[in-house]
Structures are given as structure tokens and as C-alpha cells.
Structure 1
Amino acid sequence: MYRSPEFSIQFLRTTYLRGPNIWTYRPVLETWIDIGTLEDCPSNTLPGFVARLTAWLPGLQEHRCSVGEVGGFIQRLEEGTWPGHILEHVALELQSRAGMQTGFGKAREAGPRGIYKVVIRTRHPEVSQKAFSYGRDLILAAIADRHFDVGSAIADLTQMVDSLCIGPSTACIVDAAAELDIPHIRLNDGNLVQLGHGASQRRIWTAETDQTSAIAESISKDKDLTKTLLATCGVPVPQGQIVKSPAQAWEAALDIGLPVCVKPTDGNHARGVSLELTSQAEIESAYALALAEGSEVLVERHILGDEHRLLVVGGRVVAANKGEQAHVIGDGVSTIEQLIELQINSDPRRGEEEDFPLDTVRLDDHPTAVLELQRQGLLHNSVPSLGQQVLVMRTGNMAMDVTDLVHPDVAELVALAARVVGLDIAGVDLVVKDISKPLKAQGGAIVEVNAGPGLLMHLKPASGKARPVGEAIVRHLFNSDEAGRIQVVGLMGNGDTTGPAKLIAWLLHLKGLETGLACACGLFLGNRRLQKNSAMGWETAQRLLINRAVQAAVFETTARHLLTEGLPYDRCQIGLVTSMPKAEGLQDLFVHTDAQMPGFVRTQIDVVLPNGVAVLNAQDEQVAALASYCDGEVIFYAQNEANPILRSHRANEGKVVFARGNQVIWAQGKQETELFSLAATTTSKIIKIHQLSRNDLLAAASAAWALDISKDLIRAGVKSFGQSPTAH
């Protein structure tokens, strides 16, 4: 760690806010830092600091910052800004250079002199925490004019991104879902992701979904069985035979007719595939390569033309790529291995990582390439003559987008092939001379149908347009009017939300919905208590959203949980605030005055969906003022119908709930509906047994209106609250 003898930046606390929080809807990492004497040294007072910092991280030139234009952050550096703000931008830039795009960041004074809260958007907290650590060391090194190995730091972060974050194919589906306002939950350390909540969820595992049949996947792995089924349904496929020995491979080739290709029956990614073989030696050598990559070997008629990969999603072709062959041209001096490095691997589109559109070519990793060289009488250390063209690989990256050229006949046959195998998402490989013409007329054929196809080739083709394949998969899983959401009710207040939460959950249960409840007194599913202690923690509450049985969920949240974990859901149908929480007990979070609380609690209303409802206690002016943050409708409630906020809202045709004497009333404009009497014997008994206040009942009645629960069901629910289902 690099640290100036004069200055230091100390990390005090780091918090992973996994759900919507006081900063943003998205997960963030919040770190508290103490910059010590650097509080007296803004960036414009540190000699050479800005030049050294931007030389190490030139991408900072693109940061807009609060200025709102490219170069805005540099302008702030030159005018003078403090290390908290600088750390925000440096950590974001390091994440971006490592391949984890995020963008959002904030830095705010925490209160005590020299202490700041720095927040950055994260896709994985370990990566962001490391970015903060490297960012701190880099800043101190730039201040002290010391060496800092930026390349090593970025390489370390890149390795973390590759190993910890979801892959780019999965990420494109998740990002497409987010654009359509469909929530997601990562279910493991890999690429298993839930889209949507509860009973409305779907699951993906990269390019496989919960609609992908295990039988279909098994069929696709058996190349011979796949061909048999396709041929039965009239899909053109190459003639082929499974063989048990090199000698049988040669016999099969003679029977089929030369040239042939040899491949493993259950291989993938073109491993062990040798094409256009014409001699016994070539075929017997190819047999060994194929067997090394699979359990059986298949000899097929070689189809003239170029390889293509077409992506089928939900019965239609959504993308198509053409393969490339890899060649080098001799210079009379360099070996083939050297030419591969100079002419092929030097292409900036090639790399080892998954997000490069083209793979690096290494002869050690491609035995079929070695065989291809041998067929030309060459070895890896051979020196081709000047101008001599050498074919290195016949099968390579499907890197050239040709989606717009696909003939309708080809698209129809490819979609049929996916249906025959039974795959909802399939990568169909075919060989054809011209993809813009019908398949059969030119002797083309479908050679493979693959489950779980790679998507990156369509997202980052080496040439042509990128295709929105992530959106296609999401649209396949969800109808245009679906967002994978269940009814979610979120409550926040000053210790007075447990009663309303339980009553709202009861009413939803009576409505016929399998309802989950996470509150101060436990975790419930229907009338079953799954956990006795508080279930307001993020991880516990999330169990309801993962449960496929849950059709509605009610969540009670405190200000502390909001500040230390974030909300356990991304958006809600109903956001209910019963009273403004107090700052007391939150001093350890640098919350010292009640005046700070509305700025935090507004999050509960910020997350209400546009078609949702904010339910607010009009008797608390600070709570009522939160209405301006709601994207949806607002219902106010108060005990007195003369409440000025209620009267004003009602005058504007807004919905209000109040008590007139002992009668609870819904009202909108001049229309009124009497719900139930607070003085009724059964209601009074329920209030006493469950320690409910009049406000609790008004809050629950308001939420029930927002949830479209009928007045008769509300009356029955209030009378029966707390009884077991067997009593009805």
C-alpha cells in the first residue's frame, strides 16, 4: 500500500446496500472514510496531483460529474475538490476498466470534519471494495508522486470481475429485463438468475430457461439422434455414421463419399471437429482428435459452403452469424506460430476473456489446427515462403453478423429444427454457400442443434450489427403486458407498522392470494410462521420473493434496515408510511437530527411503481409531504375528516380514508363508502387482543383500497383477524 508520510485516507466502515436505498434504486457499496489533514488540501493545492492522476487514468477525462458534460470531473479537480469525491470517480473508473460497468457514484460529508460517505454502484461488493482499496492507494501515490502499478491493479480487478460477476451473456438478459422493469435475483455464484418475483418468476441459466427441456438438451448433445429426428421431419442434414475405430472411420468415409468431416457425437464449441478430409491418414488422425473431445465419433458427408450459427428464441430466428477461416500469409522469415501472433492474435478484437468477439488462436489448444497444418505438409515451426497463404483453422469464430441476409426458407427450416429437438432457445449450426438463398437448392444442411448457445457473438460481432438477443429472450419469457411482478406492500414508520402489516397480509390471504409477510414478529407464509424472530433483514425477507408459491408479499422495514441493507424488493405496488421515524438510536450511522429522516424515508415512496399507490398518514405533515415523490397514485388517511391535507386532496378527486365518529369511510370526491364501525363489539375485541390503534385500522383500510380488496372482504377480515383458516 502506498501512503504519503504527510497524508492518509482511512476506511472506517463499508456497507453493502443490496436493495433500493437512500442513494439509488440499485445496489451500492457505501464506504466511510476519514481523510484527516487532507480536509485542508483540495486537489488544486496538491502540486502535480491532477496531471499524475489523469496520466494513470485517462478515462477520467470522460467523467461528467456535477458539471454535466464530458471533462466535468477534470474541471472539478482543477477548481479544487476533496479526496472523498476523487475516490468516488477513481473507484468507478477502475471498475469500468476492469469490465464492470456501473456509472453511479456519490460522495457526501458525513458530519464530523474530514469524514465522508462515498458510494458507488456495484454488481459485486467484493470487486467494488477492492476498487475502493486500490483507489485510495492510487490517490495517495499520486499525491506523494510515488509509483503505482495501475496495470496490475486493473488486471487483479478484471480477474475478480470474471470470476465473481455474472457472465456477459447472462448480463445482457438481466440488463434487458431491467430495461423492461422486470426485477432479478441472482440465485447462486454462477449464472443462475431469477427474473421476476414469487409466483410470477422465470429462471435463466445463461441462454437456458426454465422452459428448456432436459430431454431436448439431451437430444441436442446426441448429434446422431438429432440428425435422425431432423431428417424424419424433412430437415436437410448430412449423411453420417457413428464409428468405433479409425478403420471404421475410413470405411464409413468411403461409404458416404469423400470428402467427409469427423466430429465427436457429444462435443461442443467445434472442439475435435475436422473438415474436408480426403485421405485415410487424415481421417484416422481426425478420429483420435474427435474421440478425445467426446464419447463417440461421427463421420459425416462434408457440406460445401460456409459455417453459420443462427439463434432461435421462442420459435423464431433472432440473430445469425457467419464463421471465419483463419489464414496467415508467409513473409519468408517468420514461423507459422510467429505469423499467427503477428497476423491473427494482434487483432484487438481477439482475446482470452469471454467478452472478446474473437478467440486467441493457440496451436496447443487446437489439435485440429495442427492437423490442418500437417495436411499442408507444415509444422508449427515451418517458415512459409513470401506470399504463401496457409490455412490455420477451417472452423473458427462465428464472428460476422448476417442476420439481415437470412432467407425466409432458411429461417423457417432452422426454427423447425429447434422445435423438432424441443428447445425454446437453440443455436443451430448450418453450412451453406449463400445464406440469402433457399437451403436445399444449394445443397446446404443443418449440422448441429445446440442447447445453451453462446450469445456474445451476437452482442459483439467482429463485423456487422449487434443484435438485441437479451431482449428477445426476455420477451420470450414474459408477455408484453407482464413484468414478472407480484403484489408487494412495503411499510415504514416509527415502530407502528407491525399491526397494519399483519392485517394487510391477512386481507390479502382472504382474497385468495398465497401471501408472505416479513415483519418484526417473524416470517409468515399464509398462516404458517416460518421464523419466530424478526424477519426484516434483507436476506430473510428475500426468501418470500424467491418462493414460487408467493403471489403477494408484505414487508415491514425500519429506518435502520434501510440505511444498512436497503429495501428487500426493487419496487412495490403499495408504499405505506405511518409516521416519520426518529433519529434517536441512529447516531452510529451519522444520523443526528430528526430533520434528516424525511430524506431517507422518501425511499419507501420513491420505489412505488407508476401504477402503484402511496398510502400516507395525513396527520404527520412530514409524512404527507412525501406524496411529491410518488410516481403513482396517493391515498391519504387521517382520523379527522377535517384534516386540511385530506380536504385538499379530496377536493381534487383524490382518495382519502378517515373516521367519522366510529365509522371508517372511504371517500373520493363526493362519493363515500362506509366500511366498518370501530365501536362494533368484534372490532373492539380485535383492537384489544392485537393491540391495534385506530390509525392501524385506517392505514390497513387505505392499503386494502389500493389493493382493490372489496369492502365486504375488509369487513370480514377485520372481524376474523388472527383466526386460523380452519375457523372459516
Structure 2
Amino acid sequence: MTDSATPRPDLRIVSSRVYRGPNVWHYEPAIQLVVDLGVLEDFPTNLIPGFTEGLLERLPGLRNHTCSRGRRGGFVERLEEGTWLGHVSEHVALQLQQAVGHDMRRGKTRGVKGVRGQYNVIFAYSDEKVGLAAGELAVRLVNDLVEHDPAFDFEAELETFIIRGERTAFGPSTQAIIDEAVSRDIPFIRLNSSSLVQLGQGVHQKRIRATMTSNTSSVAVDIASNKELTLTLLASAGLPVPRSASVREADDAVRLAERTGYPVVVKPLDGNHGRGVILDLNDAEAVRAGFAVAQEESRNGLVIVESYVTGKDYRCLVIDGKIAAIAERVPAHVVGDGTSTITELVDRTNADPRRGVGHEKVLTKIKIDRAAVDLVAQQGFGMDEVPPAGEMIKLTLTGNMSTGGISIDRTLEAHPENIEIAEEAARVIGLDIAGIDFIAPDITQPVRETGGAICEVNAAPGFRMHTHPTVGDPQYIAKPVIDMLFPPGSPSRIPIVAVTGTNGKTTTSRMIAHIFKGIGRKVGMTSTDGVVIDERLVIRADASGPRSAKMVLQNPRVDFAMFEVARGGILREGLGYERNDVGVVLNVQPDHLGLRGIDTLEQLADVKAVVVEAVPRNGYAVLNADDPLVRAMRRRCSGRVVWFTLSEPGSEVWESVDDHCRRGGRAVVLERSELGDMIVVKEGRRAMQLAWTHLLPATFGGRATMNVQNAMAAAAAAFAAGASLHDIRQGLRSFSTNYYLSPGRLNEVQVEGRTVIVDYAHNAPGLRMLGDFVDKTAVTLDKASELGKVSRIGVIATAGDRRDSDMRELGAIAAQHFDVVIVREDVSLRGRQRGEVADLIAEGVRTAMGEGVRAKQVEIVLDELEATRHAIARSNPGDLIVVCVDQHASVMSELESYGRQAQPGARRDDHASTNSVSDPDFVASAADSDPGSTEPALF
């Protein structure tokens, strides 16, 4: 216990994070709050007087929460027994979202390891702004229940929260379409803060904005917006319409009304939602007054005068040429009860929880304006008078929902001839989704006989009068919309392959993308080098995060997605997509430890396992059987597992993989013989030879063991994604580590007789594998050298956010494989002082040198280009130089500049302005030298 004997309102939010996809906490999007209880750590709910009662009084919906008990009322039991206030905040945040119609129920609260009184509060959300606001209000409410703050008015705060939630939520029409899409497993992406939504992914995508779709004709929308033109076209098609014409002056409106014959209607030529529509005008004075109102709502100043058709107001919704729903629209009104004034009746009607402002809810509140007061007066009443019981008092003349009207479903009652007329009207105008406004005495009778007519055709008609009728059965009109956009059997998703691991992610991703490009697919790829769309680099940055993945899925050319998934992106925002058809985990090795709360390899494996957890039941997880931490991820996979392994027959791993295949599973293995190593794809009892490793260019004759492993993983992923063995074989045989296919990854350059290898190795495990390649390559060079053994020179560095011990280990490993180690530093020091990283690496080299390893000398040259020049300057022809790069384009430009020195007139400093790496995607730019020019955290 602390010194305090009474609880204080100490609960506070330390940090918040929004996960926009599968993450380390859950398979679906979630918000994480780290909260500090302060003194409240010693006061669970049963020790705070009146807390439970006060909480349930303010949020009675909490009584329905099951919590861990799995039954209704389980959370109340926890409150009464005593639970901590971080857990309470989780449930309050969920219940607050329920108040704005977001049915969120998932949550968990876990203590922050090693920190007393701090908790991770995790809860689901639908809209991230609403979710974050719910978390903040939850903390304020809990504190207020501990000790009341006079300045905190929960009811007012709750109302503000609800209004905010309703404003950011999708409208009823958009939400109906999205709900139908989700029920069919069609993914969606919200493209702005309003109603612009993408349904589907990549090449299969369709867009909607409310009830306008990708199929909606712009010409048809323009026609529907021009009411005079609409009626002219409908009349020319023989459809029943009122007589009408447009005018700009009130005098012309009066003359037209007299020629047409009273009563008439005036309305704006290009209006909507019933604004400015004045009905049943019977004299010149009324026409002049109505003209002024209509012209004010007209964007171009034109007003239509048309004959008044008597009858009820019906809205016929036509989708893809077929009637989907019909609703009778009743104008806003109240019915007298013999005791209440009209004003009181309106207030009582507006108190209906179904009514909101604008389109926030299924009904709109009735607005009392001058037009409403005048209309009531025409019916012989004042707003403060009491109408007789049962008498209907109209408050608007039009039946639009947006002016407070109600709807009655008449879908099954319409006469077939009227249905045919409505469908023909939509075809004449050319709208895929159209709202046909009928005025008719009775929709069950043919309008040609009863005298009804079409008075308007509307583009982007609202759905709520059909999905939430005031009277009658709701119509599921989103179904024909989705049927139109995605006919049964048509795809909405593109294949997604995700690759993660400590080392090899980029090369493996490029191999897979190269295989599918060879098949003819339009591949969208994200990696640490940027976003590539159909072989074109569109963004140069570290793009291995979730936002880059979303960019690819939004591109309308992409029909195959290849994502490199980094640890940082998963921890920052989760995955940028819902699921991946194939998830590849290459390895889990000690790198990035000590960052973002990840201190052990097991924790790092949990992060990378998110990719495996995102594999659906019909998907595949491609796992490295040689890595115990990766092997354990099979238990987290809902789909099938494909193993790849370098192990030899007889080993425990080989036997396990072989047993997996005998039971019908898949694996990619290496079969060794005197002729070389053969990559073999196994499925069940079948074994299919794929390629000799030494014939794959990326393996350097089989010397680059890391690329042998990467090629096996790529083959397994491509096979799981549907590529044929022939296509996989062809892709791997044509993929090399030249700068254009794999920039910065094991690129070999000949510089004045020296062999220079450019690679990205920046951690101890990666450098160990590179060192193995260096040893094998050096043996080959020794045999070809007239002088015997060649010298090995390594230029190495690592990021400043690694642990000191990791930096020393990097130096120790380098010392085992190089004769001379040159230590440089990255441009971005990541919180370190200039020279600090290099000193730590050099310390590791010197320590290893004292133990008698290969290295005989270590030097520090901090600038990357200067270190590269120094390595070449101190080498001799035939030597092997390895440059572990940060800005690969600049280094490659520097190396290739040596080849131009022999040209007539060339100067040594020409490389500063010339880059012989001719592909513009990889030309050195400000982004390569200025760490502030890109923002990796955005991708």
C-alpha cells in the first residue's frame, strides 16, 4: 500500500497508438492506450465507495458486458469483486462507442511488463477518431467517479462525443453498401473523411460516394441535375410527365403558370433534397412568392414552372435497370392529440431517438422555419394553438426525408405498369442507380389511367427511406448494388504475399515479384527501397510499413501485391491490410532488440508471427524449418504450412519435414549430390526438381548460401500463390543481383581489377552470412590470382538505434572475415553522437583481433563515400572489397565513376555530377544523402 489512505483521480493516458490492421494484440484493428493508475493501483473498484453504482448509472449498457466470464453481467461481477481501473477504462471505451452505433465488443487489458501501475488497454474501434475520443472520455469518467470534478459534466461530454461520432460516421446509404460488401468478404478502404470509399483491391476495385458508383455516368448525372431536360427526355420517350418550362424572371413564371393552368409547382432547375420546391400555387401572387424561394436554391438562377399533379409522393428506386424498392413519402407533419400545441407536438416528434440532424440518423428532425409557420397558418392554425385530436397538420409540402418526412414501404404493392415506367425512366436518363419520383393517386393503379406522372429523376438517391422505413418492412437494397459492382463469381481481392524476417526480406520479395512479373502480372511491391508499381519505382523511401501496403492496394493497375513487412511497421500500426494469402517468415535473429519494448528473440518472434496469423484458412504460411522460433509459428497458422529447409537427410528437421510431406503437405528442400545441390519442391509423395542452385545467377554459383535460402523461400511462396514450376524456374534463372533487379543487395562491380561487393548487411546475423559468402568468393579469387591469396577489405556500419553489444558483435564478426576493416557511419545517427557508433564497432574489431582472428587492421572513416574511396585506394588489383551500404545509389555512382576516368577529358570529380547507373529509378538524389528528405515512419 502507498502512504495515501484514500483514492485520488490519478488515472492518466501515457501514450496511445492506433493499429489499422492485424497487430500484436489482435487479428483486427485496435487502439492501444498505455495508462498509469498512480495511487489507484492500490484501489480496485470494490475499495472505491459508490464507484460501481455511479458507473452503471451513467452507462447502464455495461450491465450487458460479458467480460472474461462469458455471460451477460460478467463485467458487473468483476466490478463488485474488485477489478483495476485500467480494465474499467477498456469496457467504458467500448460502451461509449456503442452509444454512437459502433458495435465494438473486443478488448483486453494487460500490465506493462516491469512497470507497476501501468497497463496496456486494448479495444476495438470502427472509426479511429471516435475510438481515441472514447478512450480519453473513458479515463475522464473513471477519474470523475473516483473524485467528482465540478467542471466535468458527463452528460454534456457524452452528447458532444455522440455528435462527433455521428458526423464522422458513414451516412445510412454508404453504410448499407459497406455492410453488404463486408458480408460478402469484399474489402473496403475509406479514401477521405466523407463518403468516398473503395470497394475491392487493385485492379478489381470499384468506388462509391454515397450512392454514386464507378459505373455512374457523369452525363446522366448532369441530365438528372437539369430537371427541364430530364422531363423533356422522358416526354420524348412517351413517359407520363407534367407540362413544364424554365424561366429566370418572376413575371415570366406568372405568364407560364397562367398558360399552363393553375395550380402549378415552382422549383429550382438544379435543386435537390426538396429544397426550394413549392407546391399547389393557385394565383400570381403565390407564384411570385414561390419563385423567390426556388430561385434562391437554384445555382444557375433558373426556375421550373410545371403543372401540379395531385396524388401521393412515391420514390421508386431503380438499381441496374430493375426496381429495388418503392416508398411512399409523407411530408413532415404532426397529429393533434387535443391537449398539446403544434410546437409541443413538433418537440415531441423530434425527441424520437431515430431523428437527428441532416442525414446523421434514419429520420431527420423537423425544422420550424418561416415556410412551415406559413403552411400551418394556411391550415388555419398558429404554432401555439392546439389542433383537434386526430387532425394532421402538415409542416412541409414535399415528402423528402431530409425535411423531416417519413416513409412507408410500398415495394410489393406497385402495379407492374408503374414499375415498367420507372425502370424505363432510369434507362432513358442513363443512371445505374436512380430515384424516380412519382406523383400518383395510388401506386397500385396504372398512372396512365389515374393521371399520375414522373416529376423528377434523381442521381445519388438516398437509401434510408428504404432501409429504415417508418412503416413497413426494410428493403435490402444494398444487395443489388453490390451485385452490379461485383457480379456473383467476380473477384474483389488481389493475391497478397507478405515476407518478413530479420534478414533476406527484400531479396526474397524481389524474387517473388520477378517470378510473377514474368507471368505477366502487374505487381505492386513494397520494400525498404520504396514502392514499385509494375516495375516502376514511384516512391523512394523505407516503404516496408502499412501505409505503403495500402497505397499498392489502392492502385488500379495492380493485380498482384508483394509486401515486405518490417517489424517497425507492425509495432507502429499493424499490417496495412486485412490478410495475406501467403505469409513468409525467413528467420528471427537478434536485431532491433531493445526497441519499442522488444527485448528478447521470443518477443521479436511474436511480432513477426502477425504475418502468419494473417493467413486465412485457404492460405499458406511459408516457414523456415531450420529456425526454431519460426518453426514454432506453425501453431499460429489458420491455413496450410509450406516448409523450406537447408537441412540434410537424416537430421531431425529433415525427418519432420519429410513426415509433413508424407501426410500431404508441401515443402521445398535441398537435395545434394556430386553434381551439385538441387532445389526440390515436394508435395505429398511427389518430388519435383526445380533448379540447380549453382545455375541460379543470384547464388553466385551456389556460394551465396543466403540467396539459396531466399530462392527456396521465394519458390515455396510462388508455388503456394499459384505459379507453375516452369514459371518459378524461369523466374529464378533470370533473376540476378545486378543493380537494376536488386539494388544494394549483393551487387558485384569490377573496379580497376578489384572485385567489389555492395550489400546492405547491417546486423550481426546478416554480416555472418555475408562473411560466409566472402570466404567462399575469396577462395575462388585466390585460385585465379597470380599473387596467391587476395586481400579482403570490408567497409561496415550499423544503425545508431542498435544496442552497444550488437555493435561490438558486428565488429567481431567482421574481424573474422576481413583482413582490413574500415568502419563508417550512416547519415542518420538515430540519437547517437557522431563517431560513437564507429567507436563501438571498432572496439569489437580490436577485441577480436586480440584473440587472433583474421583482421590485422581497423580504421575509422565516418563518411560513406570517403570510406569507399579509401577502401579502393588502399587495395590492389585482384583484391576483394565489400561495402555494406546505407545510400546504395551514391555508392554505386561512386564505384562506376572509376570506369570513366580512363575516358579522354574525364576528371576524377566527374562522379559528383554524373551517374552511370542509367536507370532513373536508382539515380542518386537528395533522398540518398539527406536523411530529412524522406519520412520512413509514414510508410
Question: Does TM, normalized by the shorter one, top 0.5?
Answer: yes
Equivalent position SS for 2:13: strand
Residue in structure 1 matched with residue 663 of structure 2 by the alignment:
652
- Counterpart check, 1:529 vs 2:537: yes
Equivalent position SS for 1:608: coil
Change (3 A) 1:631 1:341: same
Taking the TM superposition and a 5 Å limit, the aligned residue runs for 1:554-633 are: 554-580=562-588, 585-633=592-640
Taking the TM superposition and a 5 Å limit, the aligned residue runs for 1:310-389 are: 310-328=316-334, 336-342=342-348, 344-364=349-369, 367-376=370-379, 380=383
Equivalent position SS for 2:581: strand
1:398 positional shift: 4.6
Q: 1:683, 1:581 → 2: CA distance? A: 23
Residue in structure 1 matched with residue 503 of structure 2 by the alignment:
495
Q: For 2:456, give the aligned amino acid.
A: E
Residue in structure 2 matched with residue 114 of structure 1 by the alignment:
117
Aligned residues, how many?
719
**Greater mean alpha carbon deviation, residues 180-189 or residues 331-340:** 331-340
Which residue of 64, 80, 87 maps to 2:66?
Answer: 64
Q: For 2:355, give the aligned amino acid.
A: R
Residue in structure 1 matched with residue 718 of structure 2 by the alignment:
704
Q: 2:524, 2:335 → 1: CA distance? A: 67
Equivalent position SS for 1:404: coil
Residue in structure 2 matched with residue 675 of structure 1 by the alignment:
690
Q: 1:537, 1:573 → 2: CA distance? A: 18
Residue in structure 2 matched with residue 191 of structure 1 by the alignment:
195
Residue in structure 2 matched with residue 8 of structure 1 by the alignment:
10
- Counterpart check, 1:73 vs 2:75: yes
Residue in structure 1 matched with residue 181 of structure 2 by the alignment:
177
Change (3 A) 1:387 1:29: closer
Residue in structure 2 matched with residue 300 of structure 1 by the alignment:
306
Q: For 1:546, give the aligned amino acid.
A: Q
Q: For 2:710, give the aligned amino acid.
A: D
1:114 positional shift: 1.8
Q: 2:42, 2:297 → 1: CA distance? A: 64
Q: 1:438, 1:581 → 2: CA distance? A: 76
Q: 1:483, 1:93 → 2: CA distance? A: 36
**Greater mean alpha carbon deviation, residues 388-397 or residues 193-202:** 388-397
Bigger Rg, structure 1 or 2: 2
Change (3 A) 1:331 1:634: closer
1:660 positional shift: 0.6
1:638 positional shift: 1.4
Equivalent position SS for 2:617: strand
Equivalent position SS for 1:14: strand
CA contact (8 A) 2:177 2:478 kept: yes
CA contact (8 A) 1:185 1:195 kept: yes
Equivalent position SS for 2:219: helix
Which residue of 482, 507, 525 maps to 1:517?
Answer: 525
Taking the TM superposition and a 5 Å limit, the aligned residue runs for 1:399-414 are: 399-414=407-422
Deviations 1:388-435 (A, max 9, x none): 654332323252222232333333322221121111112221122322
Deviations 1:194-224 (A, max 9, x none): 1111111111111111111111111001111
Deviations 1:334-370 (A, max 9, x none): 664444334x434443332523333222232xx5434
Residue in structure 2 matched with residue 154 of structure 1 by the alignment:
158
CA contact (8 A) 1:260 1:299 kept: yes
Q: 1:520, 1:250 → 2: CA distance? A: 71
CA contact (8 A) 1:95 1:157 kept: no
TM value normalised by structure 1: 0.92
- Counterpart check, 1:270 vs 2:274: yes
Q: 2:178, 2:336 → 1: CA distance? A: 45
Q: 2:184, 2:389 → 1: CA distance? A: 55
* Overall identity of the aligned pairs, in %: 35
Q: 2:725, 2:69 → 1: CA distance? A: 53
Equivalent position SS for 1:572: coil
Q: 1:660, 1:637 → 2: CA distance? A: 12
Change (3 A) 1:713 1:412: same
Which runs of no fewer than 5 residues in structure 2 stay unpaired? 1-5, 400-404, 742-917, 920-939
CA contact (8 A) 2:698 2:707 kept: no
Q: For 1:299, give the aligned amino acid.
A: V
Q: 1:430, 1:630 → 2: CA distance? A: 56
1:598 positional shift: 4.6
Residue in structure 1 matched with residue 857 of structure 2 by the alignment:
none
CA contact (8 A) 1:677 1:683 kept: no
Which runs of no fewer than 5 residues in structure 1 stay unpaired? none
**Greater mean alpha carbon deviation, residues 510-519 or residues 311-320:** 311-320
1:487 positional shift: 1.6
1:664 positional shift: 0.7
Equivalent position SS for 1:141: helix
Change (3 A) 1:61 1:404: farther
Q: 1:407, 1:579 → 2: CA distance? A: 68
Q: 2:96, 2:593 → 1: CA distance? A: 33
Which residue of 38, 41, 63 maps to 1:39?
Answer: 41
1:31 positional shift: 1.0
Change (3 A) 1:88 1:608: same
- Counterpart check, 1:507 vs 2:515: yes
Q: For 1:142, give the aligned amino acid.
A: L
Q: For 1:324, give the aligned amino acid.
A: V
Which structure would you say has the larger RCO, counting Cα contacts within 8 Å and 6 or more residues apart?
Answer: 1
Deviations 1:91-146 (A, max 9, x none): 11122223444332221122122221111222333322222121111111112255
- Counterpart check, 1:202 vs 2:202: no
TM value normalised by structure 2: 0.72
Residue in structure 1 matched with residue 935 of structure 2 by the alignment:
none
CA contact (8 A) 1:309 1:398 kept: no
Change (3 A) 1:497 1:326: closer
Residue in structure 2 matched with residue 472 of structure 1 by the alignment:
480
Change (3 A) 1:146 1:25: same
CA contact (8 A) 1:538 1:565 kept: yes
Which residue of 395, 398, 405 maps to 1:395?
Answer: 398
Residue in structure 1 matched with residue 315 of structure 2 by the alignment:
309
CA contact (8 A) 1:617 1:623 kept: yes
Which residue of 137, 140, 163 maps to 2:143?
Answer: 140
CA contact (8 A) 1:665 1:674 kept: yes
1:65 positional shift: 1.7
**Greater mean alpha carbon deviation, residues 678-687 or residues 698-707:** 678-687
Q: 1:511, 1:372 → 2: CA distance? A: 70
Q: For 2:544, give the aligned amino acid.
A: M
CA contact (8 A) 1:577 1:617 kept: yes
**Greater mean alpha carbon deviation, residues 250-259 or residues 11-20:** 250-259
Q: 1:686, 1:504 → 2: CA distance? A: 20
Deviations 1:628-685 (A, max 9, x none): 4434333222123641331121111112211111111112222221111002274543
Taking the TM superposition and a 5 Å limit, the aligned residue runs for 1:280-299 are: 280-294=284-298, 295-299=301-305
CA contact (8 A) 1:289 1:368 kept: no
Q: For 1:399, give the aligned amino acid.
A: S
Equivalent position SS for 1:298: strand
Q: For 1:297, give the aligned amino acid.
A: V
Q: 1:636, 1:436 → 2: CA distance? A: 66
Change (3 A) 1:540 1:391: closer
CA contact (8 A) 2:97 2:134 kept: yes
